[in-house]
Amino acid sequence: MFHVIIDSAIDLPEGSTFDDFSLVPLYVKIDTQYYKDVVDISRDEFFRILPDEYDRISTSQPNVEDFLAAINSSKHEDVLVMAISSKISGTYSSALSAAHESKKNVVVFDTWNLSMGAGVLALMALNMRNQGLPLEDVVNKLYELRERTRFWAVIATLKNLMRTGRISRFTGLVGEILRVKPVVELKEGYIVPKRNERGNPFNILHKLVEEAEGNADRSYPFIVGYTDYVPEIEQLVKEHNALLARGNPIVCAYTVNNIFAVAYVEQERERKE
């Protein structure tokens, strides 16, 4: 048995509960005040203030001491730490430094993903751990699954991505004028454009879920995600026998409200063909 630690930018399905499990919060900065995600500010509160305060919100990674405290508080000698992609956050680096300082056997796993995409991997790690698999076997399986884990998100507005430099101002202005909704995905740890869509973000989510369903290996978790709740999402989740998760403030500080997403494990190529 081993302990599992994830950071708060990894989103597990609603209602998930596990023993021997810890969460290390990232930090949300609003103006000059820092808040620990989950601990000092709830998701409901964050999404309520986000539309008016988005240009004063930023985030920062946990420090080494945050991870070290979580590692040392575990009753187990073996610990798995899972972090959002090292390509877009320094969280993995903080976790790795903490692992080097700890006397325990700590493995730090870079999910190459975030939000529900990393949540798929975290859920698999917890399930495999609970089935009695040793740490080494779980980590080897996670590296295999990482290559096939997909996360697609539709973004309602480009204004905050322009402000933070995630996209060029020209691209953002053109997108706003044309009223297109960008769909992004994670590839090898980087956020990259998938395509542009027109219409209501929730209707676009319908299309993404249908497309993902055709690609997914349904023996693994299939997660539908949101930031702002709409009742219709419950029916969508039911129709596709999916899990439901809410996006975290760390990611949404850069995308603003009204984001929808889907995360899954893609079928192996031989099976798809």
CATH code at position 77: 3.40.50.10170
Beta carbons of 42 and 48 less than 8 angstroms apart = no
Q: Which amino acid is at 2?
A: F
Residues 88 and 140 in one domain: yes
Among 101, 125, 146, give the residue marking a domain's end. 146
* pLDDT confidence band for 144 (50 / 70 / 90): very high
Residues 174 and 113 in one domain: no
Residues 59 and 164 in one domain: no
Q: What is the mean pLDDT of residues 98-105?
A: 97
Residues 6+ apart with CB under 8 A from 106: 71, 79, 80, 81, 98, 99
Straight-line distance from the first to the last Cα atom of the chain, in angstroms, rounded to the nearest whole number: 38
pLDDT for the residue numbered 125: 98
Q: Give the containing element (helix H, strand E) for 118.
A: helix 115-130
Residue 159: closest CA among 30, 259, 256, 56: 256
pLDDT for the residue numbered 254: 78
Among 146, 166, 199, give the residue marking a domain's end. 146
pLDDT digits (tens, 9 = 90+) for 105-143: 999 999 999 999 999 999 999 999 999 999 999 999 999
Among 146, 178, 197, give the residue marking a domain's end. 146
pTM of the model: 0.92
Domain range enclosing 210: 149-272
Domain count, the chain: 2
Residues 106 and 181 in one domain: no
Question: CA–CA separation, 6 vs 80, rounded Å?
Answer: 8
Q: Does residue 170 have a pLDDT over 50?
A: no
Residues 116 and 159 in one domain: no
